[in-house]
Amino acid sequence: MLGSLFLFSLLLLSRTISGQNPCPDPEEITPCTCSFDGATLEVLVDCSAVAGEDQIFSAFNNINWFTRLTEFRLTDNAAVQNLLEGVFGEVTFKRVHVDATSLALLEPLVLLGFKDVLEEVRVLDSRLGSFGFVLLTALSHLAVLDLEGNALTVLPVLRNPSLQFLNVEMNQIATVEGGWSVPNLKQLQMGRNPIVDFPSGVFEGLESLEQFSCFSCNLGPTLRAGFLASQSPSLVSVDLRFNDIVNLEPGAITGLAAHTNLDLRSNKIEELTEEIFRPMVEAVAAGSGFIDLVGNPVKCVCSMAWLVLNPDFLASVDGRCDDGLAFQDLDPLIFQELCL
């Protein structure tokens, strides 16, 4: 008797759980698919197989859905070029993941409709020529914005209280506007953009920044004063490789922490003058920080005596002279006798 009741209870529980699946009948949303994880209560909708945006619109507007879902996914799709207001009906998502598509327009009002729940937006290797950055102020839960590999040309003023990760690598960004206020941003990736205009003041509103990468950003030949005026005590790494930098103006890079690693490899810096480099070296030499100058044609002459004659400074800088001799192998006695 007890065994029969137990089996009946299990059967009833099984039917109850299956009846709570928030995904619609698969035939009603095909070629989109919906999956539900009962353990995490996450609902993922994948529309990668659609032949056009009209099929996405139909899947979300012609049937009833639970309104707060977890993730929308569109990958390896050459058919969808636009996602316009209303395409998702009343449904909202915490995460949007688009990768390897022909998407050229993600209408800002689409994301604005998700403002109460949206945490992550990734549109990768697609064709976005613009993005509704102005709406970021309204997306108060957004933590991740990844737009790598698109066709953006301008990175405007950014203001958002929750954003922690921003990636705009491999776009066509020529202009960066100043006046940012993103107090919780920890990681900023901007590499491989043909930047022409990078004003001072961008970093003043990034007081939590830990990592900044702008390798191959066309920043040379001169890095202007105020380029990177860090306000973050948490700054761990700055990557400025492959920028054809020849000169740095006084105050071009300030606010480095004792644990910051500054990567200036593979530029065209020839001279390590005390006025320019000593403030940076002093900052990182106070802790475990480091400055990497490998791959620069540095002329090891008297202008760098201040570095060679200070063992603590020299231990915090890596590089080679234009003749291949490592900085650490330079003879301090020569600099002492012939330069001072």
Q: What is the CATH number of the domain that holds 179?
A: 3.80.10.10
Q: Which of the four pLDDT bands, split at 50, 70 and 90, describes residue 10? A: very low
Are residues 159 and 145 both part of a single domain? no
Q: Which of the four pLDDT bands, split at 50, 70 and 90, describes residue 340? A: confident
Are residues 288 and 174 both part of a single domain? yes
291: nearest Cα among 307, 275, 303, 309 = 307
For 38-195, list the strands marked E by DSSP: 42-46, 68-77, 82-83, 92-101, 105-106, 120-124, 144-146, 154-155, 165-167, 175-176, 187-189
Are residues 202 and 285 both part of a single domain? yes
Last residue of a domain, one of 114, 149, 184: 149
Q: Which of the four pLDDT bands, split at 50, 70 and 90, describes residue 143? A: very high
Are residues 205 and 144 both part of a single domain? no
The DSSP call for residue 170 is S
Q: Which amino acid is at 328?
A: Q
Residue 251 lies in a domain: yes
pLDDT value, residue 19 = 54
Are residues 227 and 95 both part of a single domain? no
CA separation for the pair 115, 139 (Å, rounded): 5
137: nearest Cα among 118, 116, 158, 120 = 158
Residue 187 lies in a domain: yes
Last residue of a domain, one of 149, 181, 216: 149
Residue 83 lies in a domain: yes
- pLDDT of 222 > 50? The answer is yes
* C-beta of residue 36 within 8 angstroms of C-beta of residue 42: yes
Residue 294 lies in a domain: yes
Mean pLDDT of 119-137: 97
Are residues 158 and 40 both part of a single domain? no
Tokens of 28: 């009603």
Residue 327 lies in a domain: no
Q: What is the pLDDT of residues 145-204, one digit of tens each?
A: 999 999 999 999 999 999 999 999 999 999 999 999 999 999 999 999 999 989 988 999
CA separation for the pair 58, 29 (Å, rounded): 8
Are residues 222 and 108 both part of a single domain? no
Last residue of a domain, one of 117, 149, 181: 149
Are residues 145 and 158 both part of a single domain? no
Token pair 């002329």 is found at 299
Give the CATH number, domain containing residue 135.
Answer: 3.80.10
Are residues 192 and 246 both part of a single domain? yes
Q: What is the pLDDT of residues 97-127, one digit of tens each?
A: 999 999 999 999 999 999 999 999 999 999 9
CA separation for the pair 169, 163 (Å, rounded): 17
Residue 34 lies in a domain: yes
Residue 305 lies in a domain: no
| Other CB atoms within 10 Å distance of the CB of residue 260 | 26
Residue 80 lies in a domain: yes
- pLDDT of 93 > 70? The answer is yes
Are residues 294 and 156 both part of a single domain? yes
Are residues 196 and 271 both part of a single domain? yes
- For residue 246, the enclosing domain spans 152-298
Are residues 68 and 138 both part of a single domain? yes
Q: How many domains does the chain have?
A: 2
pLDDT value, residue 240 = 98
